[in-house]
Structure 1
Amino acid sequence: MCIYAGTVYDGRDDIAAGHQALFDSVLKGTTMVNEIDEVRFYGPGTAVVAGRGDVAKKRGKLTKVRTCTVVREGDGTWRIASFHNTKRRPLMEAVSFTYMPASRPRR
C-alpha cells in the first residue's frame, strides 16, 4: 500500500497499525468513508477498483482523495493485493486544463 505522502506499508499488520495510530490521535472521532466509481476486470480473479475516499466526522461529498485498488480472488474471497491513493488538487487541474486543454480527461 502506498499513500499520497509516499509512505509504503507492507502487509495487513503494517497497514492496520499505521491506520490505528492515526485514528487514535489526529483522526480521533472520524470515520473513513469510501465510494466505488468504477470496477474493471482484467481476466478471472483480478480487478482494479477506482474510487474516492475521505476521513471526516460526518459523511459529505467525496472529492478529496482518489483511490486505486487492485483486488484478487482466491478461494472464493476477494482480497486487496495493492492500494494507492492520491489527493486531488482542483486548482492544479484548472491551471493544467486552462493552459493545456488536451490534458483534460475525455469522460
Structure 2
Amino acid sequence: MAPGTAPQLLALSLLVLWTSPAPALGGANDAEDCCLSVTQRPIPLNIVRSFRYLLITDGCQVPAVVFTTLRGFQLCAPPNKPWVSRIIRRLERISTKGK
C-alpha cells in the first residue's frame, strides 16, 4: 500500500458510512432482529421459556413468533399455526400463575 493511501481509504470508508441512509424512525427492529424464515416443525413445549412477536408492522418481512428456549436459543415460528398458539397459551398461563 502506498504511503498516504491508508488515510484516504479510511476517509472514504467513513464518508460511505456517514452518508448511508439512516434506519426509519420509529422502527422497533433492525433487520438483525427479524426472522428470515420460520420452522414448520413443532417445537417441544418443554424447551420453551419465553416468546415475542416480530411482525411486518415492526419492519420485518417475515411475520414470526420467536421462542426463546431454556438454553437461550431463539427459534422462529409461524404465528398462524395451532401448535404456536398452544405454546403461547401455555406460557401466558404459567406467567399469570407466578403473579
> Structure 1 length normalisation: TM-score?
0.23
**Structure having the larger proportion of residues in strand:** 1
**Structure having the larger proportion of residues in helix:** 2
> Structure 2 length normalisation: TM-score?
0.24
